[in-house]
Amino acid sequence: MASNFAAPRGTQDILPPASAQWSALEARIRALAEQFGYAEIRTPIFESTALFARGVGEATDIVEKEMYTFVDRGGREITLRPEFTAPVVRAVLEGNLLAAGPLRLFYLGPIFRYERPQKGRYRQAHQFGVECFGFEGPEADLEVIALAWSLVRAYGIDDARIVLNSIGDAACRPRYRAALLEHFRPHAATLSEESQRRLERNPLRVLDSKDPRDAALVASAPALESTLCDGCRAHFDAVRGYLDLLGIPYVVDPSMVRGLDYYERTVFEITSGILGAQSSVCGGGRYDGLVASLGGPPTPAVGFALGIERFLLMVAACAPPAPPARSGYQAIALGAQARSRLVPIVARLRDAYGRAAFMDYGDRRVKAQFKIADRNGARYALILGTDELERGELVRRDLVDRTEQRLPLAGDVAAAIVEAER
Protein backbone atom coordinates (compact mmCIF):
# COMPACT_ATOMS: atom_id res chain seq x y z
CA MET A 1 0.00 0.00 0.00
CA ALA A 2 1.31 3.38 -0.93
CA SER A 3 2.18 5.57 2.01
CA ASN A 4 1.38 9.22 2.47
CA PHE A 5 4.93 10.13 1.61
CA ALA A 6 6.76 10.26 -1.66
CA ALA A 7 10.42 10.78 -2.46
CA PRO A 8 11.04 14.49 -3.02
CA ARG A 9 10.83 15.76 -6.57
CA GLY A 10 13.81 14.89 -8.69
CA THR A 11 15.06 12.18 -6.33
CA GLN A 12 14.69 8.45 -6.68
CA ASP A 13 15.05 5.30 -4.66
CA ILE A 14 17.48 2.78 -6.06
CA LEU A 15 15.67 -0.49 -5.51
CA PRO A 16 16.60 -4.06 -6.36
CA PRO A 17 17.40 -5.23 -8.94
CA ALA A 18 18.67 -1.83 -10.14
CA SER A 19 20.73 -1.46 -6.97
CA ALA A 20 22.78 -4.48 -8.04
CA GLN A 21 23.62 -2.74 -11.31
CA TRP A 22 24.68 0.32 -9.39
CA SER A 23 27.06 -1.53 -7.13
CA ALA A 24 28.46 -3.52 -10.05
CA LEU A 25 29.18 -0.26 -11.88
CA GLU A 26 30.68 1.27 -8.76
CA ALA A 27 32.97 -1.73 -8.32
CA ARG A 28 34.06 -1.49 -11.92
CA ILE A 29 34.71 2.22 -11.57
CA ARG A 30 36.86 1.70 -8.49
CA ALA A 31 38.90 -0.98 -10.21
CA LEU A 32 39.39 1.21 -13.28
CA ALA A 33 40.40 4.27 -11.27
CA GLU A 34 42.93 2.24 -9.34
CA GLN A 35 44.29 0.82 -12.56
CA PHE A 36 45.11 4.39 -13.55
CA GLY A 37 46.63 5.14 -10.15
CA TYR A 38 43.79 7.21 -8.72
CA ALA A 39 42.94 6.99 -5.02
CA GLU A 40 39.48 7.62 -3.64
CA ILE A 41 38.58 10.80 -1.81
CA ARG A 42 35.34 11.36 0.10
CA THR A 43 34.32 14.85 1.04
CA PRO A 44 31.35 16.18 3.02
CA ILE A 45 28.03 16.38 1.27
CA PHE A 46 27.70 20.01 2.37
CA GLU A 47 30.23 22.81 2.33
CA SER A 48 30.20 26.50 3.01
CA THR A 49 28.35 28.36 0.28
CA ALA A 50 31.30 30.65 -0.37
CA LEU A 51 33.40 27.72 -1.60
CA PHE A 52 31.10 27.14 -4.55
CA ALA A 53 30.60 30.82 -5.27
CA ARG A 54 34.36 31.19 -5.54
CA GLY A 55 35.17 27.81 -7.04
CA VAL A 56 32.42 27.31 -9.59
CA GLY A 57 31.94 30.98 -10.46
CA GLU A 58 29.47 33.62 -9.28
CA ALA A 59 27.98 34.08 -12.73
CA THR A 60 27.30 30.40 -13.45
CA ASP A 61 23.77 29.05 -13.49
CA ILE A 62 24.73 26.52 -10.87
CA VAL A 63 25.63 29.17 -8.35
CA GLU A 64 23.00 31.67 -9.43
CA LYS A 65 19.93 29.51 -9.24
CA GLU A 66 20.54 25.82 -8.74
CA MET A 67 22.09 25.42 -5.30
CA TYR A 68 20.47 23.91 -2.24
CA THR A 69 21.54 26.58 0.20
CA PHE A 70 20.48 27.12 3.80
CA VAL A 71 21.60 28.72 7.03
CA ASP A 72 22.38 26.21 9.75
CA ARG A 73 21.59 26.63 13.42
CA GLY A 74 24.94 28.26 13.98
CA GLY A 75 24.19 30.92 11.37
CA ARG A 76 26.57 29.45 8.78
CA GLU A 77 25.78 29.65 5.06
CA ILE A 78 25.75 26.03 3.91
CA THR A 79 25.24 24.47 0.48
CA LEU A 80 24.70 20.87 -0.57
CA ARG A 81 27.50 20.22 -3.04
CA PRO A 82 26.40 20.80 -6.65
CA GLU A 83 29.69 19.38 -7.94
CA PHE A 84 32.86 17.83 -6.62
CA THR A 85 35.77 19.76 -7.99
CA ALA A 86 35.66 22.71 -5.60
CA PRO A 87 35.24 20.49 -2.50
CA VAL A 88 38.05 18.19 -3.65
CA VAL A 89 40.39 21.12 -4.14
CA ARG A 90 39.39 22.49 -0.74
CA ALA A 91 40.12 19.13 0.89
CA VAL A 92 43.41 18.75 -0.96
CA LEU A 93 44.54 22.14 0.29
CA GLU A 94 43.26 21.61 3.81
CA GLY A 95 45.02 18.26 4.00
CA ASN A 96 48.12 19.70 2.33
CA LEU A 97 48.15 16.77 -0.08
CA LEU A 98 49.99 18.71 -2.77
CA ALA A 99 53.10 18.79 -0.63
CA ALA A 100 53.92 15.26 -1.76
CA GLY A 101 53.90 16.16 -5.45
CA PRO A 102 51.43 15.29 -8.20
CA LEU A 103 48.19 13.82 -6.99
CA ARG A 104 45.51 11.66 -8.56
CA LEU A 105 42.12 11.37 -6.89
CA PHE A 106 38.73 9.99 -7.83
CA TYR A 107 35.33 10.41 -6.19
CA LEU A 108 31.93 8.80 -6.35
CA GLY A 109 28.81 10.15 -4.72
CA PRO A 110 25.70 12.31 -4.84
CA ILE A 111 25.43 15.92 -5.95
CA PHE A 112 22.48 18.28 -5.59
CA ARG A 113 21.12 20.78 -8.05
CA TYR A 114 17.74 22.50 -7.92
CA GLU A 115 16.59 22.08 -11.52
CA ARG A 116 13.41 21.03 -13.24
CA PRO A 117 13.72 17.26 -13.51
CA GLN A 118 13.62 15.51 -16.86
CA LYS A 119 15.22 12.54 -18.51
CA GLY A 120 18.77 12.16 -17.22
CA ARG A 121 18.42 15.19 -14.98
CA TYR A 122 17.68 14.89 -11.29
CA ARG A 123 17.90 17.04 -8.20
CA GLN A 124 19.99 14.43 -6.49
CA ALA A 125 22.33 12.85 -9.01
CA HIS A 126 25.45 10.78 -8.66
CA GLN A 127 28.82 11.47 -10.19
CA PHE A 128 32.03 9.60 -10.68
CA GLY A 129 34.92 11.89 -11.35
CA VAL A 130 38.64 12.21 -11.39
CA GLU A 131 41.07 15.03 -10.64
CA CYS A 132 44.71 14.97 -11.67
CA PHE A 133 46.87 17.64 -10.02
CA GLY A 134 50.38 18.74 -10.80
CA PHE A 135 50.93 18.08 -14.50
CA GLU A 136 50.70 20.88 -17.01
CA GLY A 137 51.59 18.69 -19.98
CA PRO A 138 49.09 17.17 -22.44
CA GLU A 139 49.76 13.66 -21.08
CA ALA A 140 47.51 14.40 -18.12
CA ASP A 141 44.70 15.58 -20.41
CA LEU A 142 45.06 12.40 -22.39
CA GLU A 143 45.07 10.30 -19.23
CA VAL A 144 41.76 11.54 -17.89
CA ILE A 145 40.06 11.37 -21.28
CA ALA A 146 41.39 7.83 -21.78
CA LEU A 147 40.14 6.84 -18.33
CA ALA A 148 36.62 8.03 -19.06
CA TRP A 149 36.70 6.41 -22.48
CA SER A 150 37.81 3.11 -20.97
CA LEU A 151 34.67 3.00 -18.88
CA VAL A 152 32.48 3.70 -21.89
CA ARG A 153 34.23 0.99 -23.88
CA ALA A 154 34.10 -1.50 -21.03
CA TYR A 155 30.33 -1.37 -21.24
CA GLY A 156 30.28 -1.66 -25.00
CA ILE A 157 28.45 1.60 -25.50
CA ASP A 158 28.67 2.16 -29.21
CA ASP A 159 26.96 5.47 -29.92
CA ALA A 160 29.02 7.53 -27.46
CA ARG A 161 31.51 10.03 -28.75
CA ILE A 162 34.12 12.41 -27.43
CA VAL A 163 33.73 16.09 -28.22
CA LEU A 164 36.86 18.16 -27.74
CA ASN A 165 37.80 21.82 -27.76
CA SER A 166 40.27 24.30 -26.38
CA ILE A 167 39.00 27.50 -24.85
CA GLY A 168 42.36 29.15 -24.32
CA ASP A 169 44.01 30.25 -21.11
CA ALA A 170 44.33 33.35 -18.97
CA ALA A 171 46.63 34.87 -21.56
CA CYS A 172 44.67 34.37 -24.76
CA ARG A 173 41.07 34.06 -23.66
CA PRO A 174 40.75 37.81 -22.99
CA ARG A 175 41.76 38.39 -26.59
CA TYR A 176 39.05 36.08 -27.78
CA ARG A 177 36.54 37.71 -25.50
CA ALA A 178 37.39 41.05 -26.99
CA ALA A 179 37.07 39.66 -30.50
CA LEU A 180 33.66 38.22 -29.69
CA LEU A 181 32.46 41.45 -28.16
CA GLU A 182 33.60 43.32 -31.20
CA HIS A 183 31.70 40.85 -33.38
CA PHE A 184 28.43 40.75 -31.43
CA ARG A 185 28.08 44.23 -29.94
CA PRO A 186 27.11 46.07 -33.12
CA HIS A 187 24.22 43.63 -33.55
CA ALA A 188 23.40 43.10 -29.89
CA ALA A 189 19.85 44.32 -30.33
CA THR A 190 19.05 41.48 -32.69
CA LEU A 191 20.28 38.78 -30.31
CA SER A 192 17.96 36.80 -28.04
CA GLU A 193 17.43 38.25 -24.56
CA GLU A 194 19.42 35.42 -23.04
CA SER A 195 22.35 36.01 -25.35
CA GLN A 196 22.30 39.74 -24.69
CA ARG A 197 22.59 39.00 -21.02
CA ARG A 198 25.42 36.55 -21.57
CA LEU A 199 27.24 38.91 -23.90
CA GLU A 200 28.25 41.21 -21.06
CA ARG A 201 28.99 38.55 -18.50
CA ASN A 202 30.56 35.72 -20.46
CA PRO A 203 30.56 36.23 -24.22
CA LEU A 204 31.81 32.69 -24.83
CA ARG A 205 28.47 31.37 -23.70
CA VAL A 206 26.73 33.17 -26.54
CA LEU A 207 28.30 30.57 -28.80
CA ASP A 208 26.27 27.94 -26.95
CA SER A 209 22.97 29.52 -27.94
CA LYS A 210 20.48 27.40 -29.84
CA ASP A 211 18.12 30.29 -30.40
CA PRO A 212 17.46 30.65 -34.14
CA ARG A 213 17.71 34.42 -33.82
CA ASP A 214 21.36 34.00 -32.86
CA ALA A 215 22.31 31.32 -35.35
CA ALA A 216 23.59 33.54 -38.13
CA LEU A 217 25.71 35.73 -35.89
CA VAL A 218 27.10 32.74 -34.03
CA ALA A 219 28.02 31.05 -37.28
CA SER A 220 29.90 34.09 -38.50
CA ALA A 221 31.67 34.66 -35.17
CA PRO A 222 35.45 34.47 -35.19
CA ALA A 223 36.75 30.98 -34.44
CA LEU A 224 38.36 30.65 -31.07
CA GLU A 225 41.19 28.75 -32.60
CA SER A 226 42.29 31.83 -34.49
CA THR A 227 43.10 33.67 -31.27
CA LEU A 228 44.71 30.85 -29.30
CA CYS A 229 48.17 31.76 -28.08
CA ASP A 230 51.11 29.63 -29.16
CA GLY A 231 51.19 27.75 -25.86
CA CYS A 232 47.51 26.85 -25.97
CA ARG A 233 47.69 25.85 -29.60
CA ALA A 234 50.68 23.60 -28.98
CA HIS A 235 48.97 22.05 -25.99
CA PHE A 236 45.78 21.39 -27.91
CA ASP A 237 47.69 19.91 -30.85
CA ALA A 238 49.60 17.66 -28.49
CA VAL A 239 46.43 16.39 -26.81
CA ARG A 240 44.96 15.60 -30.21
CA GLY A 241 48.17 13.91 -31.26
CA TYR A 242 48.06 11.66 -28.23
CA LEU A 243 44.43 10.76 -28.81
CA ASP A 244 45.23 9.87 -32.41
CA LEU A 245 48.19 7.83 -31.25
CA LEU A 246 46.03 5.78 -28.88
CA GLY A 247 43.29 5.44 -31.44
CA ILE A 248 40.73 7.22 -29.27
CA PRO A 249 38.11 8.77 -31.57
CA TYR A 250 36.95 12.36 -31.04
CA VAL A 251 35.49 15.31 -32.85
CA VAL A 252 36.52 18.92 -32.35
CA ASP A 253 33.62 21.28 -31.74
CA PRO A 254 34.76 24.91 -31.62
CA SER A 255 31.43 26.02 -30.13
CA MET A 256 31.64 23.80 -27.04
CA VAL A 257 32.66 26.05 -24.17
CA ARG A 258 31.14 24.46 -21.02
CA GLY A 259 29.40 26.32 -18.29
CA LEU A 260 31.79 26.25 -15.38
CA ASP A 261 34.08 29.23 -15.08
CA TYR A 262 37.20 27.41 -13.99
CA TYR A 263 38.08 25.63 -17.22
CA GLU A 264 40.96 26.65 -19.44
CA ARG A 265 42.60 25.11 -22.46
CA THR A 266 41.24 21.59 -22.92
CA VAL A 267 37.52 20.97 -22.45
CA PHE A 268 35.75 17.78 -23.46
CA GLU A 269 32.47 15.95 -23.21
CA ILE A 270 31.27 12.45 -23.90
CA THR A 271 27.83 12.53 -25.47
CA SER A 272 25.23 10.06 -26.63
CA GLY A 273 22.09 10.46 -28.66
CA ILE A 274 20.03 8.17 -26.48
CA LEU A 275 20.15 10.67 -23.62
CA GLY A 276 17.86 13.09 -25.43
CA ALA A 277 18.41 16.73 -24.62
CA GLN A 278 20.72 15.88 -21.74
CA SER A 279 23.16 14.42 -24.20
CA SER A 280 26.29 14.78 -22.10
CA VAL A 281 27.21 11.86 -19.87
CA CYS A 282 30.65 13.12 -18.98
CA GLY A 283 32.20 16.57 -18.95
CA GLY A 284 35.58 17.84 -17.98
CA GLY A 285 38.68 19.74 -18.82
CA ARG A 286 41.73 21.53 -17.55
CA TYR A 287 41.50 24.02 -14.71
CA ASP A 288 45.00 25.32 -14.09
CA GLY A 289 43.85 28.40 -12.22
CA LEU A 290 41.41 26.96 -9.72
CA VAL A 291 43.78 25.71 -7.03
CA ALA A 292 45.44 29.10 -6.77
CA SER A 293 42.12 30.93 -6.77
CA LEU A 294 41.05 28.87 -3.75
CA GLY A 295 44.19 29.92 -1.90
CA GLY A 296 46.59 27.15 -2.85
CA PRO A 297 49.89 27.15 -4.71
CA PRO A 298 49.64 27.55 -8.50
CA THR A 299 48.89 24.00 -9.59
CA PRO A 300 47.86 22.71 -12.99
CA ALA A 301 44.97 20.24 -12.96
CA VAL A 302 42.63 18.28 -15.22
CA GLY A 303 39.55 16.25 -14.44
CA PHE A 304 36.09 15.20 -15.41
CA ALA A 305 32.76 14.27 -13.89
CA LEU A 306 30.57 11.48 -15.21
CA GLY A 307 26.87 11.14 -14.43
CA ILE A 308 26.05 7.71 -13.07
CA GLU A 309 22.31 7.93 -13.83
CA ARG A 310 23.00 8.96 -17.41
CA PHE A 311 25.65 6.33 -17.82
CA LEU A 312 23.23 3.66 -16.67
CA LEU A 313 20.67 5.01 -19.12
CA MET A 314 23.19 4.52 -21.89
CA VAL A 315 24.09 1.05 -20.68
CA ALA A 316 20.43 0.05 -20.59
CA ALA A 317 19.88 1.32 -24.13
CA CYS A 318 22.90 -0.46 -25.56
CA ALA A 319 23.08 -3.79 -23.80
CA PRO A 320 20.25 -5.36 -21.84
CA PRO A 321 21.76 -6.77 -18.64
CA ALA A 322 22.65 -10.44 -18.91
CA PRO A 323 20.93 -12.64 -16.34
CA PRO A 324 23.46 -13.34 -13.62
CA ALA A 325 24.91 -16.83 -13.44
CA ARG A 326 23.10 -19.03 -10.95
CA SER A 327 24.92 -19.82 -7.77
CA GLY A 328 24.26 -20.88 -4.22
CA TYR A 329 21.80 -23.15 -2.52
CA GLN A 330 18.09 -23.05 -1.82
CA ALA A 331 17.26 -25.18 1.20
CA ILE A 332 13.78 -26.64 0.90
CA ALA A 333 12.36 -28.05 4.09
CA LEU A 334 9.00 -29.78 4.35
CA GLY A 335 7.74 -29.54 7.87
CA ALA A 336 9.08 -28.15 11.10
CA GLN A 337 11.36 -31.08 11.85
CA ALA A 338 13.08 -30.93 8.48
CA ARG A 339 13.37 -27.18 8.87
CA SER A 340 15.23 -27.40 12.15
CA ARG A 341 17.54 -30.01 10.68
CA LEU A 342 18.32 -27.82 7.66
CA VAL A 343 18.93 -24.54 9.44
CA PRO A 344 22.36 -25.49 10.86
CA ILE A 345 23.41 -26.98 7.52
CA VAL A 346 22.55 -23.74 5.76
CA ALA A 347 24.47 -21.78 8.38
CA ARG A 348 27.50 -23.99 7.89
CA LEU A 349 27.38 -23.65 4.10
CA ARG A 350 27.64 -19.93 4.58
CA ASP A 351 30.08 -19.74 7.48
CA ALA A 352 32.48 -22.59 6.76
CA TYR A 353 32.29 -22.72 2.98
CA GLY A 354 31.39 -19.20 1.94
CA ARG A 355 28.48 -20.39 -0.18
CA ALA A 356 25.36 -18.35 -0.79
CA ALA A 357 22.46 -20.17 0.85
CA PHE A 358 18.77 -19.26 1.00
CA MET A 359 15.86 -20.71 2.87
CA ASP A 360 12.16 -20.01 3.09
CA TYR A 361 10.78 -20.48 6.58
CA GLY A 362 7.12 -20.75 5.66
CA ASP A 363 5.06 -23.90 5.33
CA ARG A 364 5.06 -23.75 1.59
CA ARG A 365 4.75 -26.66 -0.74
CA VAL A 366 7.74 -27.93 -2.66
CA LYS A 367 6.57 -26.37 -5.86
CA ALA A 368 6.35 -22.92 -4.33
CA GLN A 369 9.80 -23.31 -2.82
CA PHE A 370 11.27 -24.18 -6.20
CA LYS A 371 9.87 -21.00 -7.61
CA ILE A 372 11.54 -19.12 -4.81
CA ALA A 373 14.80 -20.88 -5.67
CA ASP A 374 14.47 -19.62 -9.25
CA ARG A 375 13.78 -16.14 -8.06
CA ASN A 376 16.83 -16.23 -5.80
CA GLY A 377 19.00 -17.40 -8.66
CA ALA A 378 20.06 -20.51 -6.73
CA ARG A 379 22.07 -23.15 -8.58
CA TYR A 380 21.16 -26.07 -6.31
CA ALA A 381 18.21 -27.10 -4.22
CA LEU A 382 18.60 -29.10 -1.02
CA ILE A 383 15.39 -30.97 -0.30
CA LEU A 384 14.56 -32.46 3.06
CA GLY A 385 11.13 -33.96 3.70
CA THR A 386 9.69 -36.72 5.82
CA ASP A 387 10.84 -39.46 3.43
CA GLU A 388 14.40 -38.21 3.52
CA LEU A 389 14.34 -37.83 7.27
CA GLU A 390 13.26 -41.44 7.64
CA ARG A 391 15.94 -42.68 5.28
CA GLY A 392 18.55 -40.33 6.68
CA GLU A 393 19.14 -38.72 3.30
CA LEU A 394 19.17 -35.31 1.71
CA VAL A 395 18.29 -34.68 -1.93
CA ARG A 396 20.63 -32.35 -3.73
CA ARG A 397 19.21 -31.18 -7.04
CA ASP A 398 21.09 -29.28 -9.70
CA LEU A 399 18.58 -26.72 -10.91
CA VAL A 400 20.38 -26.16 -14.20
CA ASP A 401 21.11 -29.77 -15.19
CA ARG A 402 17.97 -31.02 -13.45
CA THR A 403 19.86 -33.93 -12.00
CA GLU A 404 19.57 -35.20 -8.46
CA GLN A 405 21.64 -37.14 -6.03
CA ARG A 406 21.10 -38.32 -2.47
CA LEU A 407 23.56 -37.53 0.24
CA PRO A 408 23.68 -39.16 3.68
CA LEU A 409 22.24 -36.97 6.38
CA ALA A 410 25.04 -37.66 8.81
CA GLY A 411 28.40 -36.22 9.79
CA ASP A 412 29.40 -32.96 8.14
CA VAL A 413 26.53 -32.69 5.69
CA ALA A 414 27.63 -29.26 4.44
CA ALA A 415 31.05 -30.67 3.58
CA ALA A 416 29.45 -33.47 1.55
CA ILE A 417 27.25 -30.94 -0.25
CA VAL A 418 30.19 -28.77 -1.22
CA GLU A 419 32.18 -31.87 -2.18
CA ALA A 420 29.39 -32.85 -4.55
CA GLU A 421 29.89 -29.68 -6.54
CA ARG A 422 32.80 -31.28 -8.39
Could you say which residues in the range 171-230 bind RNA, by CB under 7 A?
194, 198, 205, 208-211
| Residue 231 in the binding site for RNA (CB under 7 A) | no
> How far apart are the C-alpha atoms of 393 and 260, rounded to whole Å?
69
User: What size, in residues, is the chain?
Assistant: 422
Binding to RNA in span 395-414, by CB under 7 A: 395, 397, 399-400, 402, 404
Shortest distance (Å) from residue 293 CB to RNA: 17
> How far apart are the C-alpha atoms of 4 and 1, rounded to whole Å?
10
Shortest distance (Å) from residue 121 CB to RNA: 4
Q: E strand or H helix at 251, and its extent?
A: strand 251-252
SS3 264: strand
**13 or 230, CB closer to RNA?**
13
Binding to RNA in span 101-140, by CB under 7 A: 113, 115-122, 125, 127
Q: Which stretch binds RNA (CB under 7 A): 30-38, 40-48, 100-108, 374-382?
A: 374-382
Shortest distance (Å) from residue 381 CB to RNA: 7
Binding to RNA in span 301-340, by CB under 7 A: 305-307, 309-310, 334
DSSP state letters, 45-70:
SEEEHHHHHHHH-TTSHHHHH--EEE
DSSP 118: B
Residue 214: what residue type?
D
Strands 160-166 and 264-272: antiparallel
Contact residue for RNA among 281, 290, 301, 349 (CB under 7 A) = 281
Task: Please state, in angstroms and as integers, the Cα–Cα distance from residue 111 to each residue in 8, 179, 291, 308, 354, following that order.
Answer: 15, 36, 21, 11, 36
SS3 165: strand
Shortest distance (Å) from residue 350 CB to RNA: 21
**36 or 114, CB closer to RNA?**
114
Shortest distance (Å) from residue 279 CB to RNA: 5
Strands 280-286 and 301-307: antiparallel
| Residue 15 in the binding site for RNA (CB under 7 A) | no
Shortest distance (Å) from residue 360 CB to RNA: 9
Shortest distance (Å) from residue 119 CB to RNA: 2
Contact residue for RNA among 273, 276, 321, 344 (CB under 7 A) = 276
Q: Are 147 and 36 in contact (CB under 8 A)?
A: yes
Strand partners, 79: 47, 69
Contact residue for RNA among 34, 58, 387, 421 (CB under 7 A) = 387
> How far apart are the C-alpha atoms of 328 and 325, rounded to whole Å?
10
> How far apart are the C-alpha atoms of 359 and 133, rounded to whole Å?
51
Q: Are 118 and 219 in contact (CB under 8 A)?
A: no
**179 or 395, CB closer to RNA?**
395
Binding to RNA in span 337-356, by CB under 7 A: none
**238 or 407, CB closer to RNA?**
407
Total residues contacting RNA by CB under 7 A comes to: 72
Shortest distance (Å) from residue 150 CB to RNA: 16
**234 or 316, CB closer to RNA?**
316
| Residue 262 in the binding site for RNA (CB under 7 A) | no
Shortest distance (Å) from residue 415 CB to RNA: 21
**240 or 396, CB closer to RNA?**
396
Contact residue for RNA among 370, 376, 413, 414 (CB under 7 A) = 370
Q: Which of 250, 277, 59, 62 is nearest to 164 (CA)?
A: 250
Q: Are 56 and 260 in contact (CB under 8 A)?
A: yes
Q: Give a three-class secondary structure readout of 16-46.
A: CCHHHHHHHHHHHHHHHHHHCCCEECCCCCE
Q: Which of 11, 13, 112 is nearest to 70 (CA)?
A: 112
| Residue 141 in the binding site for RNA (CB under 7 A) | no
Binding to RNA in span 26-85, by CB under 7 A: 60-62, 66, 83
Shortest distance (Å) from residue 73 CB to RNA: 25
Contact residue for RNA among 224, 345, 383, 414 (CB under 7 A) = 383
